[in-house]
Amino acid sequence: MKTLERPLRVVFLTLLSYLIDVCLMPRLSVNGVVGSASFAAIAVITVGYGRKAAFCAGAMIGILMEAMLSSVPVIYLVSYPIISMLCAQWFADLTDRQRERRKLARAAQEQPVMNSRLGTLLVKRLMGVVEIMRALFRREENLNPYLRIPMCAFVSSLIMNVIFLVYGYVSDFGLSWLHIARAMLAVLYTVAISLVMTLPYRWFLGLIGRKHRRSREEGQTA
């Protein structure tokens, strides 16, 4: 029964987030803009359970959205699982093999590649940005989950809204700065939902205090 506990919790949380999006979020709109409780739930599942669970949750949400709400054929069905897997590559927990591989890659890259003529202030600033991006997306250790969850929700919602904006532009919808502002408001709304729902979602999935339980079990077996 324990082997089914995790998948059942993921399925229940995914369905719950979909119902929140469909039934509750329209009543909590801000100037007609709503956030995505589904992306908030997928972010928690991604950070807590990894790539496979993130893909399954994204696929479930995509199928439900496609069947119930889609006005553009296939866009939800394709976008949600792809976005979930893409963000899982960045924000899911690293395995021991991935940590070792990234440490070796970082050690190989720590070589002087700039000559004296390229040592300008602009290049140094660009290298600083590169180091920040490397720290986020090519990290050697797992960042704090309470930092990764809103970041994952932000990136997921941003990609989805960019897809909508691109589709509107290609379809001669009359894209304006107002649409871009509303899209960014939807992204920020999704991040706010993830910040509010992180603790209850993680509690329901059994992720709060998991490290302490593991260390206690290891101490008992030692």
Q: Tokens standing for 75?
A: 């866009």
Using the 8-state DSSP alphabet, how is residue 30 labeled?
Answer: B
Domains of the chain: 2-93+144-215 (1.10.1760.20), 102-141 (no CATH)
What is this structure's pTM?
0.75
Q: Are 60 and 66 in contact (CB under 8 A)?
A: no
Where is 157: in which H helix or E strand?
helix 145-170
Q: Are 166 and 132 in contact (CB under 8 A)?
A: no
User: What is residue 168's predicted lDDT score, i.e. its pLDDT?
Assistant: 83
Using the 8-state DSSP alphabet, how is residue 92 labeled?
Answer: S
Q: Residue 47 CA to chain centroid, in angstroms?
A: 8
Q: What is the pLDDT along the chain (222 residues), one digit of tens a residue?
A: 567 788 899 999 999 999 999 999 999 988 889 999 999 999 999 998 888 899 999 999 999 988 887 677 788 999 999 999 998 888 887 654 544 544 445 555 544 444 444 445 555 555 555 555 555 555 556 778 888 999 999 999 999 999 988 888 888 777 788 989 999 999 999 999 999 999 999 999 888 765 544 444 444 444
User: What is residue 132's predicted lDDT score, i.e. its pLDDT?
Assistant: 53
Q: How does DSSP assign 131-155, residue by residue?
A: HHHHHHHS-SSPPPHHHHHHHHHHH
User: What is residue 171's predicted lDDT score, i.e. its pLDDT?
Assistant: 81
User: What is residue 70's predicted lDDT score, i.e. its pLDDT?
Assistant: 65
User: What is residue 210's predicted lDDT score, i.e. its pLDDT?
Assistant: 57
Q: Using CB atoms within 10 A of its CB, is residue 95 exposed (0-12), middle (13-18) or buried (19+)?
A: exposed
